[in-house]
Amino acid sequence: MPKGIRLILLTTLYLWIAIGCTQAPRPEIITPPVSDWAPQEWKTSTPQAQSIDPAGLAKALQDVKAQSLKLDSLLVIRHGYIVSETYYPPNNQNTRHELYSVTKSFTSTLIGIAVDRGYIDSVQHPVLDYFPGLATDSLDGAKNTMTLEHLLTMSSGLDWQEGDPTYQAMAMSSNWTAYVLNIPMRGLPGSQFNYCSGCSHVLSAVLQKTAGAKNPAFANQVLFAPLGITNYRWDTDNTGVPIGGWGLQMTPRDMAKLGRLFLHQGNWAGRQVVSQGWVRTATQSHIKADDTLNYGYQWWINPALGTYSARGRYGQTIYVDPAKALIVVVTAHEENDQPIYKMIEQDILPAVK
């Protein structure tokens, strides 16, 4: 199959979940108890041993069945122990799953590591400085003020139209990064939320420019290998840049490791993989998109519940509740993802004592 056609098919396959984000104070971050440990391979526990009412977990599974939700897996983890793990055929523990826009939270974490290591001086750095001469079609003063933080918070000001037609046009272009940077502005950077998978891809291109290596190699060295993640795949654009907004495949257990890393403020088995400061900033509200959810640095924030999550189309989820030391991972093929979050928030969260 010609590479351009493959890219079109691949791109149209990866859609996104758009939810929303607001300026609101975050609840105090609760450090999980020292009994939580950093696994290369997860251990299991009974719900009762981790102070979870098993009836709540049973209710969650009943709701999945009663509503015929198309789940592939559902994992519930507390204090570093899997207390409930369900796979729906033909999926199993070793099945890699398309993460769709959950990929964005991994991309953001790599940006944080690059900042920590000095490859990137600041998220306030203007984006166009990394790509001199690449934006030529619609350059104006507002675009010159667009920073990495604007990309991270989906407030670039670009008139990006999320969806298949834009994905196809980007895939057909000779340079995906140039395509995004040449989109006209719709407003001042930082003035409004506009979900932009292309912006996430530009972040990946910045990583490639600054880290001195292709992203998969950088990601493996600084993030995946320390967390013991080996069974993954990350698709790239036509110039070899890993797709920043989608394209990552991983097992549910490995997805949960990103949740645990953030639950412990970037620390893994005594090693600070990403700084505490980055974790705190990435998971706080930066901008509002709707009446329920806010947006951080490629993470969705629920200020009312004090939770944050990585979310991808069809219900892919890494859901983190810091106060409860809880992680919920979902992989699915569900067009309507709201019943999934309702199940998490009405069945699982109340079961935690």
Cα three-residue angle 188-189-191, rounded to 5 degrees: 70
* The amino acid at 108: S
pLDDT > 70? residue 213: no
Per-residue confidence band for 28, with pLDDT thresholds at 50, 70 and 90: very low
Percent of the chain with pLDDT over 70: 87
pLDDT > 60? residue 301: yes
The residues that bridge with 301 in the sheet, in sequence order, are: 294, 308
pLDDT 10s digits, 252-293: 999 999 999 999 999 999 999 999 999 999 999 999 988 899
Per-residue confidence band for 215, with pLDDT thresholds at 50, 70 and 90: low
Instruction: Say which range, 11-15, 64-68, 195-199, has the weakest mean pLDDT.
Output: 11-15
**pLDDT attached to residue 38:** 60
pLDDT > 60? residue 26: no
Give the domain 3-105+113-121+213-351 fold.
Beta-lactamase (3.40.710)
Percent helix, strand, coil in the chain (nearest 5)? Answer: 40, 20, 45
Cβ-based neighbours of 7, under 8 Å, separated by 6 or more: 171, 172, 237, 238
Distance CA 136, CA 125 (A): 19
Q: What is the mean pLDDT of residues 182-201?
A: 96
**pLDDT attached to residue 333:** 96
Per-residue confidence band for 41, with pLDDT thresholds at 50, 70 and 90: confident
Distance CA 176, CA 58 (A): 45
**Domain ranges across the chain:** 3-105+113-121+213-351
Residue 261: helix, strand or coil by DSSP?
A: helix
Q: In the predicted model, what is the mean pLDDT of the chain? A: 89
pLDDT > 80? residue 10: no
pLDDT > 50? residue 34: no
**pLDDT attached to residue 135:** 78
